[in-house]
Structure 1
Amino acid sequence: KRDKKAIIYVAALPVLLIAAGLGILKSSMAINDDPLMALTTDEYAGSATPTPYFCQAGAGTGEWCSEVMASSYFSGADPQALYIPEPAFDSDSPTVFGVTYTDPALNSSGYTGYSVAMCQEAFERGYGKGADLVEGQYGGYLVYGDSNQNLVGYNVFTNTTASHSSAIFKALMDQAVYRFFAANSSTGSASTVDLKVNNYPLPFTEAAKAVFSSSTSFVAALFICIAFTFLPASIVVFLVKEKQAEHNSKHQQLVSGVSLPAFWLSNYIWDFVMYLFPCACALILINLFEISALTGQDCDSCSSATFPAVILLFILFGLAVCPFTYCLSFLFKEHASAQTYTIVLNFMIGVVLMITSFILDTVDSTSDANSVLKFLWRFSPLFNLGNGLLSMVTNDIDTIQYSEGTTSPFSGDVIGFELLYLALTSVLYMSLAVYLDYSKTFAKAKDDSHEHENYDENNEIDEDVQKEADRVAAGHADEDAVKLVGLRKVYPGGKVAVRNLSFGLKRGECFGFLGINGAGKTTTMKMLTGDVQPSHGTATLGGFDILSQQIEVRRQIGYCPQFDALFDLLSVREHLELFGAIKGIPQASLDRVVMEKIQQLNLGDFEHKLAGSLSGGNKRKLSVAIAMIGNPAIIFLDEPSTGMDPVSRRFMWDVIADISTRGKESTIVLTTHSMEECEALCSRVGIMVGGRLRCLGSVQHLKSRFGDGLVFDVKLDMPSADELEYLVQHIFGSGSEFVTPVELEDKCRAFGNADLAERVTASHPTGYSLAAAMERDGFIRAEAFCSWCVEETRFDELSDYLVRAFGAGQVVVMERQNDFARFKVRSSNNEVKLSKMFALVEDVKAKMHIREYSVSQTTLEQIFNSFASQQEEEQGVARGVFQQA
């Protein structure tokens, strides 16, 4: 009920398409007898139909003929008298319309002569060479009237392009004759009787009705096939979305303990159950709209097994199309495009292929080839559905026209092969989907040991990292909860993401993985959780190998990925219940465990809210709760506090600390960008640079080893306006107040230090601004030049002072930004007292133009920045941060 898109694609759209299609089909192609047709001249063009007539000579003919054709008796057309001479022709063998009447000859004074002459004259009036042609002649008369014998006779002439003209014009003349005699009867009153004549078409025969009904069934089969092209699209979109990197909820399920067969079987059951609704609706609609070739009702040529065969066809189609779509899902990486392409693909291999095959069957020269090709086409479930329904229809038509008996729909000539293929492919495609997923999930690592050896030869390894690698190699880490042995990942194209990691983590330890983006942290975590296969090396989690024992490994771990792998339409409680059940928590204890996690992560106010409506911080809390539910032995947290406010972050730290360092319940591997988080939680820290572990140890160990001495942060005074005015006047005089590239060295010499000119470069931490102005404008303004020279001189004086105080090589510039500078200060014995540092600074504070300063021990962040600046790929260091040896 929450997923409206699924309802539309799975239920509403197919049913509506079938209902609309069958409704239109039923209304436009109803099998009813043709209605009666009133025979009048109203169907002819024009307001009055010109009707030529001629009165044949005889006693009283002229009088009665003209009276009968008068408007008082003759209506419905416009009678127009013709002139025909007496006799009609000069001889009894005239030539008319290119035909000479000799055998038999005409009687030029009789009705045969006048009939031919009448036709000739009417034709010339309508189609001759005269200027005033008469249009709309559909009938005419040769009239004979004899008052002495009370007789009126006539011949009707009709235009055969008007199908009903003979009956219409006979009825008009009969009406006129009746009126004439009625008016001249003994009563002497005129008759107003209208003679109405109708045409009643013959009804359809039963055979014709059967053929017509079966023909409409062909279109019905087409509509059904089109409707079910949308079903695979509703399935594939969720499968592809589940495996996308930014929403890898499938991997989250697998890491939590779901086996691949269970994953696919649960999808199969759910998708098939969802399919049953449109399937049932389609079968009901077929019955409601009385598609006789598919229902077998009112169909003498149909077998009693017709509708059961259709039901079986629909059921097997559902069983085959679901795993067929699972196999298609491996072709796509984006769920939006997957939906579109799946609809188009199924339309092509279903509807289009069905129509193409039908056309090939009707052509004698291609029917044999198509019979063979069908064995290939039948690997498409949608083709089997459409072709199966079509075969039912054509079988019904063939039985009506050519056979006296009925053919079983289960025979190979009808839908036997379609049913067989659907049954076999439902097993084949399901097995193939599981195999493809196994091959991708449990792929063997590619051995690139020769690259591994070359790398080791050319790169120096930190002594702590080497010591840990030696411990692992010696087998002393075999009892550790986590052990990495030469783990390495090389992506296609030669990109080395992780370089030969070897270390171990004991139970209850919280290990911090630090590194800028691209350092290899997330890739390492993905290799350990089975999302990415290593190129070389291996690892064990809880004693199980990540390559050969992934199923056992996944029972040991909880995983909070970098991107929230949540189901938008499940609530917080439903997520925890789902993953709690996956991890094997007994049903009797599940509610209690879920409530504990909700309270532990402070999610009580959001218990019944859908995950899609949660804030970023609460999504991270839910992801951490999922990772921790079931108390796994090893927990991977990839940037768990991202998007959290400071209060929530502190709360999260307490939760993690309770589990690892205090309770010693689980080993936690934590990646983060927050040095504060790392110092608060981690018992050991490793900093990765360019995929390589550069240092390893506790926070205090790293500070002691890499953070020797003190950090001196200082801000210097900017030169005053008076100082700048004096310098500008002294250096530039009354001349131009601009410095050009040619003048730069001379002006620096005039200031008192010609070497300053070498610092005006794009790579210098402060000189880059002058270099940019020089490149942009072609000059530097005098005030900006003098101000920069003063700042550089003051910085040099302070730097020289510190070097004199602590010795050469003991003072290192770590960072410079405009008037700010950061120094690392050491002494020869590696001990610098705060008192000495403060005394030295206070003595020269005014002289050195120091505005403010601070002295502190080297922080973990500063150590991290020092290592991070050495990364060759994806540099993340700002201008002015210096690399440290």
Structure 2
Amino acid sequence: MNETNNMLSTEFILQGSDVVISIFIIVAMSFVPASFTLFLVYERATKSKHIQYINGLFPLVYWLTNFVWDLLNYLLPATCVIVILRLFNVPAYVEGENFLAVISLFLMYGWSIIPVMYPFSFRFSEPSNAYIFLIVINLFSGITCIYTSFFLEIFALGSPSTSTLSIITSTVKKIFKIFPNYCLGRGLIDIAYNDYYNSFYKKTGLNDRIRTPFIWDITVSNLVSMAICGFVFWILTLLLEYRFFYSPTIPDALPFSHLDEDEDVAKIRRQILNKTINDNILIMSNLSKCYRTRKHKKLIAVNNLCMGIRSGECFGLCGVNGAGKTTTFRMLIGDLYPTAGYAHIHGFDSMKERREVFKYIGYCPQFDALFDELTPVEHMLLMARLRGIYWHNEDQHVYQLLKRLDLCEYLNIPVGKLSLGNRRKLSTAMALVGDPSVVFLDEPTSGMDPSSRRFLWNVIRRLVKEGKSIILTSHSMEECEVLCSSIAIMVNGCFRCLGSTQHLKNRFGDGYTIKIRLKSSLNSTLDQTILDCFSTNFILKERHINILQYEIAEIHVSLKDIFSKLENLLINERITDYSVAQNTLDNVFVNFVRDQYDTSQQTRETSRRRQEHFNDILDDTFDDGSFVAIKSRRNNNNNTNDRQQMIDYIELEC
């Protein structure tokens, strides 16, 4: 009988048609579950998922609804495959109990493979990358494992069950059952394999040897494996969502020096740490975030921030890209665990008591978390219903907010057709749903035209008058000066200065900024006459080729003396032109954030890319002589420095 079984096994394997069918089914089904991560990654990357959480959505509800929807979408192609097998009347898959076994495999495959995809959505920020990666994983875990077990069975034919090769084959097949794609493909092969045996037994009258497909060795083991796999990955998804595996601290202490800290920042730090201020609704105490790089080095994004914000106050967080503004925002809204320190909103910890914090806050992300197919009304109704606004009040509440943001004429237009300015207005309106007392606005006016920007400024000012606390980030000191009652300039993860706009002007904005353009004939060494003229009380802040920028405190010299010196230089043809301007908050901002560019590795990398980007511009400039000053210096030996200075010059002029 063993020889007969071996002969049947050999004939079935050599025939191979059912193996090919299962492989093609695996290939087709590998694309379907991978597509389910596209929307998940998009929602996570754009902060749409976190905005829904802020508005009251529970994580378990979020994942259950996604699973139900994904399962319904999976059933459509799965049904098509089953119908095709039925229409073409493939005997091994449509006769008797075999058809029920095939349906069972497809149903359990849907249960298991969809949760397997979910944990990967936490590791990607680009939907297309996640989709391609998971397709490859599905194909590899299905096709490679099936062919491996298939060839091992060929080599093990005729070997006793106690032989090493047979034991290896059996063990490998058991290990592969952790992959749903393998279970589906292997289950289909085993069903066809069993049907081939049963056909032979019927012809030879050995009816007592006919086996149902619903036994452990054929489909039950695969069904059980997929059921366990689905359950395990469901638990894993929820554990990742609730950050069960996250370790918030890094063993080494974060480097921080109080010696270099500004006196205003140090004063606020002492007040926060000593808890001498009790009327703040938002408190940051030594809030820090540190990342591990691939080379196991520490990258400090936010370093020991201390700050308190009162009700009805607009606080501006200023800084260039990479300063740590968005990272700070993410920790404040409960989207990112701090490495050290804490943030409290209305007395609740932003991470440990997120559900309570979410009741009081609204959030407008830096990039619009919108769906192009939905209209503004549909976006607002979604947020209102998540907030739990009574259904008979939601229409009125939504309409009032849309009217407030001047979006009434776009109520039923898909968001994908709206301008960038109107999309930013809608994102701001969504942050105001439910009348939160603390509103976080991450660069709310980015990409807006001047008219829309000033309109939104007026909206924010009215919100502050109503008693709401506004925390916003911006690159524009003009915006912060118009809106904010207090400002912090952030450089390399630290507050470099802190206070009201007038206070910062009084401390750092006194004096004048003087820019002079040297004659092109001057060499790289400054003319001694100019050095002598500006050596006392004048501070050389920047030099870009033949452009010099000085700063001087107002108390040191009068405007009359400044203009007298500049006119003498102009008359003597030492300079071609000059400008004198009173220092503004923009000057204060530029002076502080210059440190960001001096010390940030990220900025140095950006400068390198920027230099490559301007190569063509530089070549054209040197060749056609459009900049006389550059052309006159072309014969110098410091061509590399000249090119870098030219890049700085282009940045300055643009």
Asked if these proteins are the same fold (TM beyond 0.5), I'd say yes
Partner of 2:318: 514
Q: Is the 8 A contact 2:516 2:579 kept in 1?
A: no
| 1:484 maps to which of 279, 284, 287 | 284
Partner of 1:235: 36
Spell out the pairing of 1:565-584 with structure 2 (5 A cutoff).
565-584=369-388
| 1:534 maps to which of 331, 335, 338 | 338
SS of equivalent residue, structure 1 residue 357: helix
| 1:276 maps to which of 75, 92, 99 | 75
Per-residue deviation, 1:263: 2.3
**Normalising by the residue count of structure 2, what TM-score does the alignment of the two structures yield?**
0.79
* More deviation, 543-552/499-508: 543-552
Q: Is the 8 A contact 1:236 1:338 kept in 2?
A: yes
SS of equivalent residue, structure 2 residue 253: helix
Q: Aligned-pair RMSD on alpha carbons?
A: 3.4
Q: Per residue, is there more helix in 1 or in 2?
A: 2
Partner of 1:699: 501
Report the Cα distance in structure 2 between the residues aligned to 1:826 and 1:859, rounded to whole angstroms: 13
Distance 1:646 1:333, change over 3 A: closer
Spell out the pairing of 1:300-699 with structure 2 (5 A cutoff).
302=96, 305-362=97-154, 363-364=156-157, 365=159, 366-402=165-201, 403-405=206-208, 406-439=210-243, 443-448=246-251, 450-452=253-255, 455-456=256-257, 459-492=259-292, 493-660=297-464, 662-664=465-467, 666-699=468-501
Partner of 1:824: 552
Report the Cα distance in structure 1 between the residues aligned to 2:261 and 2:136, rounded to whole angstroms: 55
State the aligned residue count. Answer: 572
Report the Cα distance in structure 2 between the residues aligned to 1:592 and 1:328, rounded to whole angstroms: 40
**Which letter maps to 2:555?**
S
Q: Is the 8 A contact 2:284 2:305 kept in 1?
A: yes
Q: Is the 8 A contact 1:256 1:559 kept in 2?
A: no
SS of equivalent residue, structure 1 residue 551: helix
Report the Cα distance in structure 1 between the residues aligned to 2:401 and 2:532, rounded to whole angstroms: 58
Partner of 1:873: 599
Per-residue deviation, 1:346: 1.3
SS of equivalent residue, structure 2 residue 218: coil
SS of equivalent residue, structure 1 residue 414: helix
Q: Is the 8 A contact 2:290 2:301 kept in 1?
A: yes
Partner of 2:26: 225
**Which letter maps to 2:440?**
F
**Which letter maps to 2:588?**
I
Report the Cα distance in structure 1 between the residues aligned to 2:266 and 2:425, rounded to whole angstroms: 36
Distance 1:813 1:373, change over 3 A: closer
Report the Cα distance in structure 2 between the residues aligned to 1:688 and 1:432, rounded to whole angstroms: 37
**Normalising by the residue count of structure 1, what TM-score does the alignment of the two structures yield?**
0.59
Percent pairwise identity: 37
Q: Is the 8 A contact 2:376 2:411 kept in 1?
A: yes
Report the Cα distance in structure 2 between the residues aligned to 1:437 and 1:390, rounded to whole angstroms: 37
SS of equivalent residue, structure 1 residue 250: helix
**Which letter maps to 1:308?**
L
- 1:135-178 superposed Cα distances (whole Å, 9 cap, x missing partner): xxxxxxxxxxxxxxxxxxxxxxxxxxxxxxxxxxxxxxxxxxxx
- 1:424-478 superposed Cα distances (whole Å, 9 cap, x missing partner): 22211111111123227x83421557334xx236x32222111111111122345
Distance 1:581 1:873, change over 3 A: farther
Report the Cα distance in structure 2 between the residues aligned to 1:630 and 1:424, rounded to whole angstroms: 41
Per-residue deviation, 1:320: 0.8
Distance 1:478 1:846, change over 3 A: closer
Report the Cα distance in structure 2 between the residues aligned to 1:497 and 1:591, rounded to whole angstroms: 42
Give the greater-gyration-radius structure (CA).
Answer: 1
Per-residue deviation, 1:673: 0.9
Q: Is the 8 A contact 1:557 1:633 kept in 2?
A: yes
SS of equivalent residue, structure 2 residue 370: coil
Partner of 1:81: none
- 1:497-550 superposed Cα distances (whole Å, 9 cap, x missing partner): 222111110122110111222222222112222333222111112211123222
Partner of 1:152: none
Distance 1:870 1:314, change over 3 A: closer
Report the Cα distance in structure 2 between the residues aligned to 1:350 and 1:381, rounded to whole angstroms: 8
Partner of 2:617: none
Provide structure 1 residue ranges, at least 5 long, that are not aligned to the other structure: 1-210, 297-301, 725-738, 740-755, 762-766, 768-788, 801-807, 881-885
Per-residue deviation, 1:572: 2.9
**Which letter maps to 1:254?**
Y
